Amino acid sequence: MNEIQIINRGLSNGFSEGFTDLQMAILQFLTDRKSQNLSVGTINLYKKKLLTFENFCRENGVNHAVEITPDLIRLFIMHLQNTGHNSGGVLTYYKSIRAFLLFYWRENEPDTKNPIMKVKSPRCVNEPIEGICLDNFQKLLSVCDSNSFFGQRDKTILLLLLETGVRAQELLNINIEDIDITYSSILIRQGKGRKPRTVFMGSSARRQLKRYLKILNRDKGALFINKEGDRLKYGGLREVIRRVSLRAGLPEQGIHGFRRTFALEQLRRGVDIYTISRLMGHTSLQVLSRYLKQTTSDLQVSYRSIIDS
């Protein structure tokens, strides 16, 4: 791919006309990452974070990668913190900038030192990830219209999110042929890191899925579709959650909250953390620990079970 093609691609993906050196360098970085066969989600994450950083640089009169200083990076981190980004989000920005600058200095070998080497990684506070209250979950289910196709679809989405613990994109990527109703299992072909795994659904999700498949009347292809008959996308999924939350009289429920509720419910049922980690597609228990921060009620139940035994 030549530079003209890169520029044309950039113009259709968030960069304005009149490319700066920094914008061009970011495009080259994204092209490099795509050539490494990274997932679309990872590429889009890099793009989103670096576009925000590039805009901050431009507002501060910096249009060349070599003009970036440690102080500018620190100011950007402080800007993120002051505008409501949590510590995990700030760390993601830092890692994206670090990856970009390491690539740039390795490829171009400028005479100046890489500024990222003088900026320490911001501290990440492992705050517990909030889940979906089960009472609220029942309210979400109750407002799904059982007499319409999309009501059945939405109810199936909610139950699969809660009972399998899959990520949003993993849910959207499910094909009908990935489902084994007999064993109540679903093959996730490409989880995080493109690693496949099998997840399992409970009896409620299984029964609802059978109802939905009957009215879907397909034997292959995307499990969840939109009004045009195409695969449901992330924006469409967010709209589903927003709509049912509104109907239920609740604040918009976070899609990722279903995963924490899944993890907590499995823990409460006595499933060991190694199994939970594998079911959720985590590569380490450290990630899982954020999902399993025990609530006050959990601690009280554990304490009573010891005292009363």
Q: Give the mean pLDDT of 28-52.
A: 90
Instruction: Please give the backbone phi and psi of residue 78, each rounded to the nearest 5 degrees, phi first.
Output: -65, -35
Domain boundaries, the chain: 3-118, 134-307
Q: Which fold has domain 3-118?
A: DNA polymerase; domain 1 (1.10.150)
pLDDT digits (tens, 9 = 90+) for 103-162: 999 999 999 999 999 999 998 766 555 678 899 999 999 999 999 999 999 999 999 999
Lateral strand order in the sheet of 185-188: 179-180, 185-188, 197-200
Beta carbons of 91 and 122 less than 8 angstroms apart? yes
Please say whether the structural domain 134-307 has been given the CATH code 1.10.443.10.
yes
- Give the pLDDT band (50/70/90) at residue 85: confident
Could you give the 3-state DSSP secondary structure of residue 175?
strand
Question: 3-class SS at 283?
Answer: coil
In tens, the pLDDT along 180-230 reads 999 999 999 876 667 789 999 999 999 999 999 999 989 899 999 999 999
Q: Assess whether the region 3-118 and the region 134-307 belong to the same CATH fold.
A: no
Cα dist. 308→179, 201, 294, 302, 304 in Å? Answer: 44, 34, 20, 10, 6
Q: Are the beta carbons of 241 and 253 closer than 8 angstroms?
A: yes
Place of tokens 């060991």: 272
Do 15 and 31 meet the contact criterion of CB atoms below 8 Å apart? no
